[in-house]
Amino acid sequence: MSPLSLLILGDGRFPSGGHAHSGGAETAIAAGRVHDAATLRDFCQGRLHTTGLVAAALAAGAATGYDPLSLDEAADARTPSPALRRVARRLGRQLMRAVRVTWPGPELDDLAAARPGGAHQPVVLGVAARMAALTPYDAAQAAAYDSVCGPVTAAIRLLGLDPFQATAVTAGLCGDMEHVASQAAGHAARLPAEGVDALPATSAPLLEITAEQHATWPVRLFAS
């Protein structure tokens, strides 16, 4: 593996549509639950250990070469909110477009053909990691990082938060992200024996509820 490939895949500037999504931060900020660096950290930590863990396990699973269509169904089952399922598929489709150019490979082509409307983003991320010769743990790290850096970037724009403080929030969660990634890789390793039931199903009900509310807002800065 090349650590540089992981940096490229995880870079917030990787052109896969994520910049227009806040990961639930826009509603949390509007409700006053996130208003400074400390509350942003709490929000990101909660997201990371719930939906972030699920995303990381899906990505790690896809990076092992496990059937991405089964993982895609497992992602649906672990995403109660229809709005979040739509977002995950849309982001998956956008990521697919970018990774088919950056790390082309038959497995990406097959998944794109089987899911023309987009597979769940973490599944595409895992297959892309595989095409980039990264490990399942790498893929899980990329997904864990993604689950944190989306809300952090959104908070910088929405709250005018000091960008240094905001980046310190991300850095302060490194230990959490590594822990989640290693848990996720452990789940993924059990896929051959246990099937998709080996995957975690930790959820964040408030993120699901507010995602549904956000989808109905007439005025908003982020798509989700």
Partner 1 sequence: MHLHHTDPVRAEIIPPAAARSGGRPRPLRVGLGGPVGSGKTATVAALCRRLRDTVSIAVVTNDIYTREDAEALLRQAVLAPERITAVETGACPHTAIRDDISANLEAVEDLQERLDPLDLVLIESGGDNLTATFSKGLVDHQIFVIDTAGGDDIPRKGGPGVTAADLLVINKTDLAPHVGADLDAMRRDAEAARGPLPTVLTSVKDDHGVDPIADWISRRLAEHTAVRS
Chain residues in the site for partner 1 (CB under 8 A): 13, 15-22, 90, 93-95, 97-98, 154, 157-158, 218-223
Question: What would the two tokens of residue 126 be?
Answer: 């895992």
By beta-carbon proximity to partner 1, the closer residue of 78 and 93 is 93
Closest CA to 179 of 38, 57, 72, 64: 57
**CB 219 to partner 1: min, Å:** 5
CA distance 21 to 3: 26
CB atoms within 10 A of CB 95: 27
Closest CA to 115 of 64, 62, 78: 62
Closest CA to 25 of 13, 41, 10: 41
**CB 187 to partner 1: min, Å:** 29
By beta-carbon proximity to partner 1, the closer residue of 49 and 120 is 120
**CB 113 to partner 1: min, Å:** 13
Q: What share of the chain is helix, strand, coil (3-state, %, to 5)?
A: 75, 0, 25
**CB 29 to partner 1: min, Å:** 12
By beta-carbon proximity to partner 1, the closer residue of 19 and 190 is 19
**CB 223 to partner 1: min, Å:** 4
By beta-carbon proximity to partner 1, the closer residue of 61 and 122 is 122
CA distance 152 to 85: 21
**CB 119 to partner 1: min, Å:** 14
CA distance 32 to 5: 37
Backbone angles phi, psi at 13, to 5 degrees: -90, 0
Residues 224, 87 contacting (CB under 8 angstroms): yes
**CB 90 to partner 1: min, Å:** 7
Backbone angles phi, psi at 208, to 5 degrees: -65, -45
